Amino acid sequence: MGNKLFIHGYDAVGYGALNAGCRHFFGYPITPQNEITEFFARELPKRGGRFVQTESESSSASMVFGAAAAGVRVMTSTSSPGWGLMQETISHISMCELPCVIVDVQRGGPGQGTTRHAQTDYLNATRGGHGGYKNIVLAPSSVQECHDLMQLAFYLADKHRILTVVLADGILIQIAEYINADPIEYDGLPPKDWALTGFGKKDGRFDQIHSTRGLIPPIYKTVVEQLHEKYNRISETEVRFKTYEADDADLLLIAYGYVARCAEEAVNMARSEGLKVGLIQPVTLWPFPYAVLNEKASKGSRFLVVEDSMGQLLEDVKLGVEGKSRIDFLGMSARHVDGELGMIFPETIFKEVKRLT
């Protein structure tokens, strides 16, 4: 206790990774996450770590692939167009089951889009690229959570031999808040005895990390089934979400990231007028908390999905609710101005809540 700092989201990501023991970062500049890359360029050499500014996000992801295969805690950070470039290697990382962490600071898309905040990578992050795989996706909604979820991300990555994505946005990374910057203790993890270090350090044992798994035994279908057994296990055990005033709520707001903070404020406004409104905030976007939404829908709660896109989180809420209850949507069109600076403010959400109740 007592390690209290007033810092930006980008530095919270950095300190969270350092507290998790990450000493390798490979990255490429892209707005609005440049300060994360600059954090590691500044801090890692002091700690004996390795920082490389690469020539592209493809190369960053490939270096992450290599370092993860060699068994160290490694990460990169990017924003939406760079996230797109990394998709190829992310699929290879998933086939090879390499534990590592990638931070995607979402900005507006599609294409080059804007360099400001948005939540338009949700479906890509939770559904993935070519070949059918899953990554754990964590969504912070405060500077504190940027710090804490980075540590959780490295733990879950090592626990399950999987890529963990931290899906932030331009606002979270650029705001400053007080945080407690202490390391978090986790349970023991399996040794990385498969890491590529040369057989001399492993008593003659050699390892092959194959993105063509299935070409040599175990054969292809078995590999795919084993991967999906793991995904099912994670779906059953690693779902995380937060609730706020949700117990007796007739109307439940569903939101993540910066929008969840605005939604929480809207709940306060509604409660002060006696309206039974609450918030369910998924922390793991994959695996998604479908069950809690289904249970609330069965009990008669209605839903208002609020997100800074034209409707992506909305798809998962529909899958959870299974048509048992009404779902309304407040998206990017509710931004307070039309330009790239537009945000979905608590007042706007509250107005929609009043219209619906």
Partner 1 sequence: MSEQVSARKKEKIYDPRRYRSNMPNPACAGCGSPIVCGMIMSALEELDVIDKAIVVVGVGCTGMAFFGTKIDMAFCAHGSSPSVAAGIKHANYDDAIVFTIQGDGDCAAIGAGYLVNSAARADKITVFMCNNVNYGTTGGQMAPTTLLDQVTTTTPGGRDSQSHGFPLHVPEMLSTIQGVSYSARGSVSSAANYQRTKKYAKRAIQKQIDGEGLGFLEVLSACPVNWHMTPGDAAKWIDDTVMKEYPLGEFTNGQTRK
Q: Contact residues for partner 1 (CB under 8 A)?
A: 24, 26, 50, 52, 54-56, 58-59, 62-72, 74, 88-89, 92, 96, 196-200, 206-212, 216
Half-sphere exposure at residue 124, Cβ-oriented, CA atoms within 13 angstroms:
22
b vs e for 260-276, b when ≥16 Cβ sit within 10 Å of the residue's Cβ? bbbbbbbbebbeeeebe
Residue number, 88 or 245, with CB nearest to partner 1: 88
CB of 91 to partner 1, least distance (A): 8
Measure CA of the first residue to CA of the last residue in the chain; give whole Å: 43
> Is the four-CA dihedral 313, 314, 320, 325 of positive or negative sign?
positive
Instruction: List Cα–Cα distances, 149 to 144, 181, 194, in angstroms.
Output: 8, 12, 26
Residue number, 103 or 306, with CB nearest to partner 1: 103
Residue number, 210 or 299, with CB nearest to partner 1: 210
H helix runs in 77-194, sequence order? 80-96, 122-127, 143-160, 170-174
CB of 315 to partner 1, least distance (A): 29
CB of 292 to partner 1, least distance (A): 37
- The amino acid present at 205, given as its one-letter code, is R
CB of 77 to partner 1, least distance (A): 15
Residue number, 208 or 272, with CB nearest to partner 1: 208
CB of 13 to partner 1, least distance (A): 20
CB of 285 to partner 1, least distance (A): 25
Residue number, 137 or 209, with CB nearest to partner 1: 209
| All residues at 6 or more sequence positions from 230 whose CB lies less than 8 Å from its CB, including other chains | 97, 160, 161, 162
Residue number, 56 or 237, with CB nearest to partner 1: 56
CB of 161 to partner 1, least distance (A): 15
Residue number, 72 or 176, with CB nearest to partner 1: 72
DSSP 177-205: EEEE-PPPP-------TT--S-GGGTTT-
- The amino acid present at 166, given as its one-letter code, is V
